[in-house]
Amino acid sequence: MPHLLNVWPAVSRRLASAPRVLLLFDYDGTLTPIVARPEIATLPEETRRSLTALAGMDRFVVGVVSGRGLADLEALVAVPGLVYAGNHGLEISGRGMEFVHPEAPAFEASLAEVAKSLERELAEVPGIVVDNKRLTLTVHFRGAPDRYAAQVDGTVAATAAPYVDAGKMKITRGKKVVEVRPNLDWGKGKAIEKIREDCGGSPLPVFFGDDQTDEDGFVVVQDAGGLAVYVGLTRQPTKALHQLESPAEVGLVLDLLARLDQP
């Protein structure tokens, strides 16, 4: 898996030759480092400036595709002219796109019940966050001592089990997070397909991500002839064919993209 910066001359020629490019990024762990609590994952100002510059160029359609709730994502990134896809693409907004998966709102009441139970069951675990994002639910335990990881995971699984067994919900896992999501055939890959379709003209898709929930996005992008970039150490298993090591390197690539047409 080549490091993107090592093959940048060839990649930049490919991007420069495309009439339009759809640039999509995960947020946590991709545009900004993973932190103990989700509310303190702030976007570096240099990254925000680069995203703003790219969004102002006719060549690019720029967006962020995240497991965060849509309003939270928009507030954290705060760049006009972007496409924002929250809750793993169950809700999308920006550049004339306004979408909520038609089946997702029916799960709100059940997710609220699960969240209330988890807040009670996990009240004694230090450093966790039960984040009810309305259309999905995430339990963050990055701030908890490692010895609680199995307890948190098991409690989430047990609490959601009646809904999972009934085929109504599913559990997904990431970097010290456990998620309860509607059991719908929808994720970041389907969201990327929809965004690309709504853009018109089949722009060349490029997607940067760092976690398990980004993998279906990598597949969709590469199947469409685009570029998928895994952000993390090379030893991690991924379907992406290119790699960067950190959000700091993503920032370097953003700067290079903003200067793509310069001699």
Q: Which residues contact 263 (CB under 8 A, 6 or more apart)?
A: none
Determine contact, residues 135/90, Cβ cutoff 8 Å.
yes
Determine contact, residues 20/26, Cβ cutoff 8 Å.
no
Among all chains, which residue has been given the structure tokens 């959601």?
160
| Beta-carbon count within 10 A of 210 CB | 28
**Maximum Cα–Cα distance across the chain:** 60
Q: How far apart are CA 63 and CA 81, in angstroms?
A: 9
Residue 114 backbone class (left: φ over 0; alpha: ψ -120 to 50; beta: rest):
alpha
Of 26, 28, 72, 131, the active-site residue reads: 26
H helices of 101-246, where?
Answer: 108-121, 149-165, 188-199, 215-223
Q: Taking the CA of residue 101 as centre, how many other CA atoms within 13 Å lie in the half-sphere pointing to its CB? A: 28
Q: How far apart are CA 122 and CA 118, in angstroms?
A: 6
Q: SS3 for 192?
A: helix
Q: How far apart are CA 184 and CA 4, in angstroms?
A: 33
Q: Would you call 26 a catalytic residue per the annotation?
A: yes
Q: How far apart are CA 129 and CA 199, in angstroms?
A: 36
* Residues noted as catalytic: 26
